[in-house]
Structure 1
Amino acid sequence: MRLPKITSLYGRIFAIFWFTMLLVLLAVLSLPHLDPRKARNIPADHFERLNVLQQKIEKRFRGEKDLRKIIFSLEDQGRSPRDKAPRLFLTDLEGNILTTKRHHDFKIRALQNFITSIEQGEPKQKLYGRYMIAGPLPITLAEHNLLLYIGVKWDQTPPFLLRLFDKPFQLLFAVMVVSTPLLLWLAWALSQPARKLERAAKRVAGGEFVVDPELEKGTSEFRQAGASFNQMVEAVNHMISGQQRLLSDISHELRSPLTRLRMANALATRKQGDSPELERIDTEAQRLEQMIGELLELSRMQADSHLTRELQPISSLWEEILKDAQFEAEQMGKQLSYSAIPEGSISGNPKLLMSAVENIIRNAIHYGEDLIQVTLTKDDEQLSIVVEDNGQGVPDSELEDIFRPFYRVSTARDRNSGGAGLGLAITESAIRQHSGSIAASRSQLGGLMVLIKLPLSS
């Protein structure tokens, strides 16, 4: 018969609790059968030896008529504390001890307790400290019907359970020894699904919205939590994908009326000739088309980017971008230098990561006067990318605002410089999707410094 598998967390806890209690109960129930301090039947082999001893005593004193002399002779056997011979006691049929001693020692008091604690009939034995008393055996001495009791020093080791119950600290230690493996197993059983859930939460925090079937295994409580977590991940996936597709659809639909607007403006220019108003309409239409193009690029990069994750080496992501940027800067009469690329890997969407860093570098080339520096360093499982230039920079009051969508700096990045103000917003969004951070500050070169931090994969 196969036992049912316990899948509930509380079921496992109760099972361990009741198992421990069962062990303690079995120990308590078995103690009376093992405790020699309880009156018990004399083992057969021991009982035979007592009968042989009883017969020897009767044979020894068969011709003796003086009972007092016999008692004195029997008591004289156990007077020496080093004598391991059994001590013999005689009582009448009513249980009165026959002794020649005036003062009752420990053995006499133990015998009195033994006589009153057992029922007359079948011989018993009982332990007092380290002294075992057995009896009674019927014996006839000096023509008197008497009862014989035998006391011996008990040299056997007390039973294990008896020692435990006599010493509470040993009992506590034994319970801990038995229960510790069970508790460790329980802790392991609890920690495994909890760690799976923790790792899944970290993946979601890192932008990996992937359903993990392993979360729906284990105890029923963790299975329910894992199923709810996977449902949440699926809901977030649908929500993000829906928003990104909506943005892409809107941007795509805006291109049709924009194209018709530019065609109408071109026809008006052909019929009426150039005018400042028509030139302004064409300029604004071009900027609107550029903005829509950037929105389409953003939507294409972000569409299902949370579902597409790859483990890429750092060099494969940005080495070619840095070389191309260095060549482009040289063509513009500027100098771009970059540090050695450290070893390591990043888990994420390669297109988003490459586009984010490339956008920062191209901005530095565009706004820097003649010097651009790119520094890549690795520290504590984190990659830092610093891009600096010696251009005009950004006012300190606007350093936090440049990553807002459609924001333009009032000095260098005005409308005459082009751009819709989405480049840095796209970069900031891509870095944030990979659990990274981006911040701008004033560079020691005089221009802008952008610091990007991204977590590396173990």
Structure 2
Amino acid sequence: MKLPNHLLFKLLLAFWITSSLVLGLVIGLPHLQKSFDREPLDPRLATVLNRTAERLAETPPQQWRQLSHKLRHYQDERGREFRMSFYLIDKDGRPVFRGDRRLPREVRHFLLELDSYQQPMRYRFPDEVVFGPKEVQLNGETHYLIGKIRAPHQRPWLFFLMAHPGAFLLVAIAFSGLVFGLLAWHLGKPLRHLKDTAGALARGDLEARVDGDTLSRRDELGQLATSFNQMADSVTTMVKGQQRLLSGISHELRTPLTRLQLALALARKKGEDSAELQRIGREAEQLDAMIRELLALSRLNMQITDSKHPLDLIDVLTDVIDDAGFEAEQMNKQLSVTMPEHLPFKGIENLLRRAVENLLRNALRYAENQVSLEIVRQPNEVLIRISDDGPGVPETELETIFKPFYRVAEARDRDSGGWGLGLAITQGAVEAHQGRVRANNRTPHGLTMTVTLPLA
């Protein structure tokens, strides 16, 4: 018969074990201590009681107290000396000596544990041993003699808990903490692995899966891991299928477009260059540009899962910045650059180049005169700021300009070029490095694009 292996059963089992042990100690320790402390009267102490009773019977009553003082010292078979005291009580348990107004606490506890005066025994206390009673006939009355030896002895540490409730509470807390700590580790380890796998999948690692140890569990966490892997497989299939579809469609569109451009070129060679053909040529060029952007977006999605490697960010962006400077000169605009000589980074070169190139080209297209690029290294991240003095973007659209095919009507039109894919490509490249990109308007006009990339 297999025990249930559910999380609820494990939680109940841990609670049951902890509660049972604590309750068992609370209920069982007093009985265990009683059985340990209570023992039959051994022959040596019985002999001491008998000799003391004989001497007590031979001694006049007025000298009983002096006799008791004479018998204070006791030596065992090993030669060790112990302090001994004797107490004479009547059948009601009251002390016979007038000076003994009240018996010691240990003797009173001994009398409470005593089943019968006719059954002598020995009872252990932390620092003393009480033994007896021994029946003594004095002056025609029945009395009972009880002895007490000051003899400390080692007791089990569990009995220490009975005498110190605070220590018992600490032990109970420590034990319950240990049990539930082990349970938390048993449940937390697969959850942490599942969290790390989900994070890797969210960062674009489509091959991330939960390991076999978690999958082999027979509880709800194992079922969750199996469902997670199935979900990851479905997501990977859909994403890769979408990427293949986009790439395939883009490539297929290039074939008729190339034929169209070739036919236009042949027509122009024959002297056929009407306004309609010019319009067709412009539309074909725009369609070609859009297909290139779609192919770039498709390649970006495929490169997101590429492994990152150490590089110098400045070396990677140098060619992009030089090309942007050349374009700025041709457009009679000024590009100012502020950046360190070297900046170690860990990333994917093509994605970093494309992200910054799109932002620079966008800024140059809409700037009136000035574009600035600033690369700043901070303790835990790299900031790349690209600013222009163009018309800016409406405040309500600063977040939506990064969506694919989204274009701001007030600042862009089809004649300006672009199909609203450049910023989407930039955002995808930045997010592939666990970074973020945001847009802010400048005063009095212009736009600042800020890219934040965490340092590995």
* TM-score for both structures, normalised by structure 2: 0.77
Match for 1:73: what amino acid?
Answer: Q
What secondary structure does 1:86 align onto?
strand
Q: Cα–Cα, structure 1 residues 379 and 184, in superposed 2: closer, same or farther, change >3 Å?
A: farther
Tell whether the 8 Å contact from 1:377 to 1:384 is kept in structure 2 after alignment: yes
Q: Cα–Cα, structure 1 residues 53 and 325, in superposed 2: closer, same or farther, change >3 Å?
A: same
Higher mean C-alpha displacement, 18-27 vs 285-294: 18-27
What secondary structure does 1:106 align onto?
coil
Report the Cα distance in structure 1 between the residues aligned to 2:168 and 2:50, rounded to whole angstroms. 41
Match for 1:118: what amino acid?
Answer: D
Task: Report what 1:373 is aligned to.
Answer: 372
1:192 aligned residue (163, 185, 189): 189
Residue ranges of structure 1 left out of the alignment (5+ in a row): none
Task: Report what 1:256 is aligned to.
Answer: 255
Task: Report what 1:427 is aligned to.
Answer: 426
Task: Report what 1:42 is aligned to.
Answer: 40
Report the Cα distance in structure 1 between the residues aligned to 2:141 and 2:9, rounded to whole angstroms. 66
Percent pairwise identity: 34
Task: Report what 1:283 is aligned to.
Answer: 282
Q: Cα–Cα, structure 1 residues 185 and 61, in superposed 2: closer, same or farther, change >3 Å?
A: same
Report the Cα distance in structure 2 between the residues aligned to 1:42 and 1:381, rounded to whole angstroms. 77
Higher mean C-alpha displacement, 335-344 vs 291-300: 335-344
Match for 1:173: what amino acid?
Answer: L
Task: Report what 2:115 is aligned to.
Answer: 118
Q: How big is the alpha-carbon RMSD for the aligned residues of Structure 1 and Structure 2? A: 4.3
1:58-137 equivalence runs, <5 A? 58=54, 61-62=57-58, 69-70=60-61, 72-75=62-65, 77=67, 85-89=84-88, 95=91, 101=97, 105-107=101-103, 114=111, 117-119=114-116, 121-126=118-123, 133-137=130-134
Report the Cα distance in structure 1 between the residues aligned to 2:9 and 2:179, rounded to whole angstroms. 14
Output one character per residue of 1:33-84: Cα deviation in whole Å (capped at 9) or x when no partner: 433897x22353xx4133134225425755x6xxxx34x533555589x995
Whether 1:55 aligns to 2:51 is yes
What secondary structure does 1:338 align onto?
strand
How far the C-alpha of 1:235 sits from its partner, in A, is 2.0
What secondary structure does 2:375 align onto?
strand
Q: Cα–Cα, structure 1 residues 343 and 165, in superposed 2: closer, same or farther, change >3 Å?
A: farther
What secondary structure does 1:451 align onto?
strand
Tell whether the 8 Å contact from 1:197 to 1:215 is kept in structure 2 after alignment: no
Q: Cα–Cα, structure 1 residues 222 and 399, in superposed 2: closer, same or farther, change >3 Å?
A: closer
Q: Cα–Cα, structure 1 residues 113 and 187, in superposed 2: closer, same or farther, change >3 Å?
A: closer
Task: Report what 1:305 is aligned to.
Answer: 303
What secondary structure does 2:168 align onto?
helix
Task: Report what 1:357 is aligned to.
Answer: 356
Higher mean C-alpha displacement, 131-140 vs 228-237: 131-140
Tell whether the 8 Å contact from 2:132 to 2:146 is kept in structure 1 after alignment: yes
Whether 1:156 aligns to 2:152 is yes
Residue ranges of structure 2 left out of the alignment (5+ in a row): 74-82
What secondary structure does 2:303 align onto?
coil
Match for 1:345: what amino acid?
Answer: F
Task: Report what 1:171 is aligned to.
Answer: 168
How far the C-alpha of 1:214 sits from its partner, in A, is 3.8
Report the Cα distance in structure 2 between the residues aligned to 1:393 and 1:115, rounded to whole angstroms. 96
* TM-score for both structures, normalised by structure 1: 0.76
Report the Cα distance in structure 2 between the residues aligned to 1:177 and 1:16, rounded to whole angstroms. 14
Tell whether the 8 Å contact from 1:311 to 1:346 is kept in structure 2 after alignment: yes
Higher mean C-alpha displacement, 423-432 vs 407-416: 407-416
Report the Cα distance in structure 2 between the residues aligned to 1:299 and 1:309, rounded to whole angstroms. 17
Higher mean C-alpha displacement, 152-161 vs 383-392: 152-161
Match for 1:50: what amino acid?
Answer: A
Tell whether the 8 Å contact from 2:404 to 2:421 is kept in structure 1 after alignment: yes
Task: Report what 1:209 is aligned to.
Answer: 206
Match for 1:276: what amino acid?
Answer: A
How far the C-alpha of 1:121 sits from its partner, in A, is 4.5
Tell whether the 8 Å contact from 1:88 to 1:151 is kept in structure 2 after alignment: yes
How far the C-alpha of 1:296 sits from its partner, in A, is 1.9
How far the C-alpha of 1:298 sits from its partner, in A, is 1.9
Report the Cα distance in structure 2 between the residues aligned to 1:134 and 1:114, rounded to whole angstroms. 10
What secondary structure does 2:103 align onto?
helix
Report the Cα distance in structure 2 between the residues aligned to 1:429 and 1:102, rounded to whole angstroms. 100
Match for 2:308: what amino acid?
Answer: E
How far the C-alpha of 1:310 sits from its partner, in A, is 1.3
Tell whether the 8 Å contact from 2:201 to 2:208 is kept in structure 1 after alignment: no
